[in-house]
Structure 1
Amino acid sequence: MGLIGILVSLALLMWLAYRGWSTLLVAPIAALAAAAFAGEPLLANWTQTFMPGAARFVAQWFPIFLLGGLFGKLMDDSGSIASIAKYMTERLGTRRTILAVVLASAVVTYGGVSVFVAFFVLVPMAQRMFESADIPRRLMPATIGLGAFTFTMTALPGTPSVNNAIPMPYFGTTTFAAPGIGIMASLITLAFGLWWLARAEAKARAAGEGFGSAAALPSPVDEKLRELTTVSGEFDIAELDHGQKSRDEPPFFLAALPLAVVIVVNFLMALVILPRLDFAFLSDPAWGSTSFGAVGGVWSVMLALAAANLTVIAVNWRRMPGLRETIDAGANSAALPMLTIASLVGFGAVVAALPAFNQVRDAVLTIPGGPLISLTVAMNSLAALTGTASGGSAIALAALGDHFLELAKTYGIDPALMHRVTVISAGTLDALPHNGTVLMLLQISKLTHAESYLDMVMTVIVGVVISLIAVLVVGSLFGSF
């Protein structure tokens, strides 16, 4: 009955979340359902298992969610996102519309801006360019998706995305883990996606298909979609309308400067400055009996985002008369997504504590092919079920992270490779039709799954799966680099 309860609770979680129910409520309900099937005490599971699991996630990731939400809002209200997108698209021109939109989306999100903030700038920009180039509007989501939430979220070394940060405490790594492997995966994903989009564009032109009719953009976001997106990212889209947007845009150099600050400061802190300092005191019980390896990566991202936030404010001081309102909105935008994913982690903690979970654990860890394959299967499965890369990886690592690390040591696998495989794996099947990011992009674009999802599958799922296979093969043969 315990195993049946786990399966039923997962199905309940997935169904209610897809229907738009708040995961804050759905996750504890599903967790208690699993406990009830196993004959375990319900109140004890909620207060002594679910809540500590959720609280650990909040305690660990609150600074990054807070600073990341603030950064996205500051970049949006200062006009920096629009300036970067306009500069890149103007330089590449309408003859290279698809490439321009992909690169603009990639630059903004690799620098740490939430995709949900970026969409409201990227979609109108893409529509203007696609209309000028007479490219079918239905290809817009696949083009933006390729640049915004594939390799920049999971593969490129140094990306400050939550997806890339979550494995750090479990493997003692940084966001720059396995940089060569990550760059290889990024190039494969990008090349395949651009090939598919060029093929689709050529096929449409041969058939005489043009842009089609324009749609009024952006569209309002309903409450159901808000609930779905809070599971998929680190920004509450309800805060987009709060604060005051700048009436003019900064020059490209000033707009892009905060993005460069994120990457440079993160690199310096993770690989140069912090490793040279003495953090032996962290082993004391007063500091949680931890190690620098467990917290160094998180500290580096925190400092990078903090520096970037200060940079945005400094270079746009006079452009943001409503700075206080923008800061409040950015801070508030982090609360719901963080608590939503924490609730999923609490659900995972309850499931992992059930006696029947030992069967699930043993089945996952003994999948033929070794630790990299079992890790890939676990991440893909949970990301697909929950519709979120960050939530899926957080659940899996909270329950199995220690086991995967032990397997890595046993098989002589570099934890950095485990980190990169974890992140790329979680970013594949998370983009199924019920994913909040997919739904958000389609709604803002005023397009449907029937019109655009096939091309999205090819650019944001198939291309990533191909890169993941390459990573597994190369990593197994040559290790991490």
Structure 2
Amino acid sequence: MGLIGILIGLGLLVWFAFRGWSVLLLAPAGALVAAAFAREPLLAHWTQTFMGSAAHFLAQFFPIFLLGALFGKLMEDSGSVTAISNAMTERLGKEHAILAVVLAGAIVTYGGVSLFVAFFVLAPMAGALFRAAAIPLRLMPAAIVLGTSTFTMSALPGTPAIQNAIPMPFFGTTPFAAPGLGIIASAIMLSFGLWWLNRAETSARLSGESAGVADTTADSAVDNELVRELATTAREFDPAEIHRGHRSETSPPILVAALPLIVVVGVNFLMSMFVLPRHDAAFLAEPQWGATSLSAVGGVWSVVVALFTAIVTLIIINRQRLTALRESMDAGANASVLPALSVASLVGFGAVVAALPAFATVREWVLSIGGGPLVSLAVAANVLSALTGSASGGLTIALDALGPTYMNLAAQHGIDPALLHRVAVIGAGTLDSLPHNGAIVSVLAVCGTTHRESYFDIIMVAIVGAIIALAAVIILGTVFGSF
């Protein structure tokens, strides 16, 4: 009965979440259903297990949610994201429209701009480019997803995405874990995605397909409550805050616009590789600091310092453009709250499930998957991210339940924890792009297309390409180790 309860609780969570119900309600409800079938104490699981795990997640990662959303809002309101997008458009032109959209998305998200902010700015640019180049607008979502939600989220070394931060406390790694494998995976995702999109463009031209007309605008997507509920479980920005504050009427020069992004990457690298490794943090072992270690918190510290430094830099160099600075900062801060609480609720749900006696059966099944620890870890991250529709939520659930087990297996098999980190993050970023994923629903709404029109191409660039890259990382990591 316990296993049936887990499946029913998870099924209710997925079913109602896809229909726009708030995860803040669904996650505890699903957890209590699972606990009830297992005849476990309901109130204790809610207040102790569920809330304890959710609170722990917030304690670890809310600073990244907060600073990430704030940075994205300030980049948008200063006109910096628009300036970078326009620069890519002017440099590559309509002859390379798909490449321009992909690279613009990759630059801003690798630099730390929140995903929905990137969607909101990139969609109008992509629409104009695709119409000028007579490329079907149904390919817009796939091009945007390739640039914003694949290799810059899970594979490129040092990406400040929350998904790349989640394994760090579990494995004692940094944002630059397995950099060589991450670069190879990024190249595979980018190359395969561009090949597919160019193939689709050529096929559309040969068949005489027109560009088409989108049936909505980015503005209408912002006001869509279904989009909001799904988007906030997928990434770290609440769409409702996108229009608050004041967007600059002028954009900064491209070098000024790009400088904060460079600061994010540069400071993150310096903190991870040079500053923190030389820092005496023995005091962290004391109970007042949580009896932890630098390896458990250092990765998060690196990302937090990088985002904070970039925010200060952005404000200084764009002060005259940020005419409503307080309102923009308030909007950015508010935009972080619902996503953080939504993902924390998913984590709480996972904690209750993992605490049930029937979960031992699930654990044994995962660990019995052939191919070794890397394959079973990839499958666990994939399945949970697919079911929750959230790479961050699914990855945290997987590592909360199985992280210590995989660390023990890594020690037994001589596997570098950095390799576990990279496999887990890439694995979480594959099947999370199923139709109910908030980022997918958001980008379709912003672009004004439908699942029927655009989802197959998203499958190819976001799922198939990522799975190929994941397989390559597992094979190379098994043969050569982490590098």
Return the TM-score normalized by structure 2.
0.98
Aligned to 2:3: 3
Unaligned segments of structure 1, at least 5 residues: none
Q: What is the Cα deviation at residue 351 of structure 1?
A: 0.8
Contact 1:219 1:443 in 2 (8 A): no
Q: Supply the distance in 2 between the matched residues of 1:30 and 1:260 (Cα, whole angstroms).
A: 42
Aligned to 2:467: 465
Q: Supply the distance in 1 between the matched residues of 2:162 and 2:177 (Cα, whole angstroms).
A: 14
Q: Supply the distance in 1 between the matched residues of 2:199 and 2:227 (Cα, whole angstroms).
A: 32
Q: Supply the distance in 2 between the matched residues of 1:458 and 1:369 (Cα, whole angstroms).
A: 25
Q: What is the Cα deviation at residue 3 of structure 1?
A: 1.0
Q: What is the Cα deviation at residue 213 of structure 1?
A: 3.0
Q: Supply the distance in 1 between the matched residues of 2:231 and 2:469 (Cα, whole angstroms).
A: 26
Contact 1:239 1:332 in 2 (8 A): yes
Aligned to 1:85: 85
Aligned to 2:148: 148
Aligned to 2:375: 373
Letter in 2 for 1:303: V
Contact 1:156 1:182 in 2 (8 A): yes
Post-superposition Cα deviations, 1:92-139, rounded to whole Å, max 9, x if no partner, equal: 111111111110110011101111011111000001111111111111
Aligned to 1:263: 265
Q: Supply the distance in 1 between the matched residues of 2:186 and 2:121 (Cα, whole angstroms).
A: 24
Q: Supply the distance in 2 between the matched residues of 1:203 and 1:24 (Cα, whole angstroms).
A: 44
Q: What is the Cα deviation at residue 377 of structure 1?
A: 0.8
Q: Which moved more, 1:203-212 or 1:111-120?
A: 203-212
Q: What is the Cα deviation at residue 212 of structure 1?
A: 2.2
Equivalent pairs, count: 481
Letter in 1 for 2:331: A
Aligned to 1:40: 40
Aligned to 1:66: 66
Change in CA separation of 1:268 and 1:224 when aligned onto 2, cut-off 3 Å: same
Letter in 1 for 2:8: V
Aligned to 1:327: 329
Letter in 2 for 1:32: L
Contact 2:433 2:440 in 1 (8 A): yes
Aligned to 2:431: 429
Pairing 1:24-423 to 2, within 5 Å after superposition? 24-213=24-213, 215=215, 217-221=217-221, 222-423=224-425
> What secondary structure does 1:405 align onto?
helix
Aligned to 2:22: 22
Post-superposition Cα deviations, 1:140-170, rounded to whole Å, max 9, x if no partner, equal: 1111111110000000000000010000000
> What secondary structure does 1:173 align onto?
coil
Q: Supply the distance in 2 between the matched residues of 1:75 and 1:55 (Cα, whole angstroms).
A: 29
Letter in 2 for 1:249: S
Unaligned segments of structure 2, at least 5 residues: none
Q: Supply the distance in 2 between the matched residues of 1:374 and 1:456 (Cα, whole angstroms).
A: 25
Contact 1:230 1:336 in 2 (8 A): yes
> What secondary structure does 1:220 align onto?
helix
Contact 2:150 2:466 in 1 (8 A): yes
Q: Supply the distance in 1 between the matched residues of 2:48 and 2:194 (Cα, whole angstroms).
A: 49
Change in CA separation of 1:216 and 1:387 when aligned onto 2, cut-off 3 Å: closer
Q: Supply the distance in 2 between the matched residues of 1:448 and 1:65 (Cα, whole angstroms).
A: 29
Letter in 1 for 2:439: T
Q: Supply the distance in 2 between the matched residues of 1:91 and 1:402 (Cα, whole angstroms).
A: 48
> What secondary structure does 2:174 align onto?
coil
Q: What is the Cα deviation at residue 366 of structure 1?
A: 2.1
Percent of pairs with identical residues = 63
Q: What is the Cα deviation at residue 219 of structure 1?
A: 3.8
Letter in 2 for 1:202: T
Q: Supply the distance in 2 between the matched residues of 1:162 and 1:350 (Cα, whole angstroms).
A: 23
Contact 1:177 1:416 in 2 (8 A): yes
Letter in 2 for 1:93: G
Q: What is the Cα deviation at residue 364 of structure 1?
A: 1.0
Q: Supply the distance in 2 between the matched residues of 1:285 and 1:196 (Cα, whole angstroms).
A: 53
Post-superposition Cα deviations, 1:349-394, rounded to whole Å, max 9, x if no partner, equal: 1111111111111211221111001101100100110111011001
Contact 2:214 2:447 in 1 (8 A): no
Contact 1:78 1:245 in 2 (8 A): yes
> What secondary structure does 1:319 align onto?
coil
> What secondary structure does 2:218 align onto?
coil
Cα-Cα RMSD? 0.9
Q: Supply the distance in 1 between the matched residues of 2:220 and 2:281 (Cα, whole angstroms).
A: 48
Q: Supply the distance in 2 between the matched residues of 1:355 and 1:202 (Cα, whole angstroms).
A: 54
Contact 1:219 1:446 in 2 (8 A): no
Q: Supply the distance in 1 between the matched residues of 2:419 and 2:122 (Cα, whole angstroms).
A: 33
> What secondary structure does 2:320 align onto?
helix
TM superposition outliers: structure 1 runs of 4+ over 6 Å: none
Q: What is the Cα deviation at residue 402 of structure 1?
A: 0.8
